[in-house]
């Protein structure tokens, strides 16, 4: 890497240009090759053919499997995107520091050059000779003091130049490291995108092979399965133990989320026209004034967990063992969520899917009746 007068500026410009290229939508990367199995349910995209008289319950389970695998891959995609965005911002800030540091270094070099030229002009004779030739010895002694001060200032100037050069090297090293992480996360994002698209394509193919009457029966089976799960959940007596009060922020989050009912699910989307499950919950809480993690898995890991019995409107219900789905509790045993591709944001029974646990974005805030 060049370290001349324009070297660091060139490096900074190169970094910014590279970030711009990587951040551009549709950037392609070489396929990193098949990744080892992660144990995600429904990782296989093979779908049973839909033939007349087929067991639609098996089809329903297979579709659930495929869409859950897509949801898990969507979380991978969202996480990689979030990391890449953060690293892009960090690289841009480092590039700004490099440019600013180079400007400072150029100014220090100019000052050092001026000091050197001044010393050269006055440094031709020994001090004894200057004293003998001086008309006013006192002025000479004063001048000698100023020279000493100038020498000290020059030494300080050189020290500052050295520190600035070291800072520039550190900034460049940091930018290089962040650039490598950025590229890795862009590749992870591209790989996750392929996983999502593969699972959704398999599910859509499976559904497309059904006759209209079979599709209607399948929809009934889905509703029946959800109603059965919700009835069992309510039958446990859970609802009577729930806290019906919400915090002011919780109310705002619920208002935002329920206002999106009817908008389509779109994986990777955060509104305003479409959302995926965690895009809906994260944006609802942003609207309420609190930033929370982007993905359902990070929401489960980072937010404060509460017992289901203590759940209140605005809390997030995390579903399935892999935390691949999330909805927002709105009270009365219901949840608002973005279900899956091909469906719209809707209100459903909070117990209609297997609950992993509940997390609370606004821990410490008092609920209001």
Catalogue the active-site residues: 277, 325, 337
Residue position matching structure tokens 């895009």: 279
Buried b (16+ CB within 10 A) or exposed e, 95-105: bebbbebbeeb
Count the Cβ atoms, other than its own, within 10 Å of residue 125: 11
Give 304's strand partners. Answer: 360
| Rounded Cα gap, residues 132 and 135, in angstroms | 8
Q: Please choose, from the candidates 337, 326, 244, the residue with its C-alpha nearest in 3D space to the C-alpha of residue 293.
A: 326
- As a three-state string, the secondary structure of 182-242 is HHHHHHHHHHHHHHHHHHHHHHHHHHHCCCHHHHHHHHHHHHHHHHHHHHHHHHCCCHHHC
Residue 22 CA, distance from chain mean position: 15
Buried b (16+ CB within 10 A) or exposed e, 313-322: bbbbbbbbeb
Kindly report the backbone phi and psi dihedral angles of residue 131, in degrees, each rounded to the nearest multiple of 5, phi listed first: -65, -45
């Amino acid at each position: 890497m060049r370290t001349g007068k324009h070297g660091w500026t060139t490096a900074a410009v190169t970094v910014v240009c590279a970030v711009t290229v990587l951040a551009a939508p549709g950037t392609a990367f070489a396929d990193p090759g098949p990744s080892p199995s992660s144990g995600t349910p429904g990782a296989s995209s093979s779908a049973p053919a839909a033939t007349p008289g087929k067991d639609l319950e098996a089809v329903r389970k297979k579709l659930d499997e495929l869409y859950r695998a897509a949801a898990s891959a969507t979380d991978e995609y969202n996480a990689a995107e979030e990391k890449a965005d953060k690293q892009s911002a960090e690289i841009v800030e480092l590039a700004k520091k490099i440019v600013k540091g180079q400007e400072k270094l150029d100014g220090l070099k100019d000052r050092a050059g001026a000091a050197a030229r001044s010393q050269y002009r006055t440094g031709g004779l020994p001090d004894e000779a200057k004293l003998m030739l001086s008309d006013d010895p006192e002025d000479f002694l004063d001048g000698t003091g100023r020279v000493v001060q100038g020498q000290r200032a020059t030494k300080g100037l050189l020290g500052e130049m050295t520190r600035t050069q070291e800072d520039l090297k550190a900034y460049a090293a940091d930018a290089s490291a962040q650039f490598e992480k950025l590229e890795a996360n862009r590749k992870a994002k591209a790989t996750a995108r392929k996983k999502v698209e593969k699972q959704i394509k398999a599910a859509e193919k499976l559904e497309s092979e059904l006759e209209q009457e079979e599709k209607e029966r399948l929809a009934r089976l889905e509703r029946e399965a959800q109603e059965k799960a919700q009835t069992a959940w309510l039958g446990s007596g859970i609802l009577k133990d729930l806290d019906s009060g919400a915090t002011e922020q919780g109310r705002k989050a619920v208002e935002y989320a329920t206002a999106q009912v009817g908008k389509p699910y779109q994986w990777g989307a955060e509104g305003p026209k479409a959302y995926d499950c965690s895009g809906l919950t994260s944006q609802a809480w942003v609207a309420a004034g609190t930033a929370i993690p982007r993905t359902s898995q990070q929401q489960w890991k980072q937010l404060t967990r509460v017992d289901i019995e203590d759940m209140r409107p605005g809390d997030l219900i995390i579903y399935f063992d892999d935390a691949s789905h999330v909805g927002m509790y709105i009270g009365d045993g219901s949840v608002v969520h973005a279900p899956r591709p091909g469906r719209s944001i809707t209100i459903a029974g909070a117990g209609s899917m297997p609950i992993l646990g509940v997390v609370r974005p606004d821990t410490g805030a008092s609920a209001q009746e």
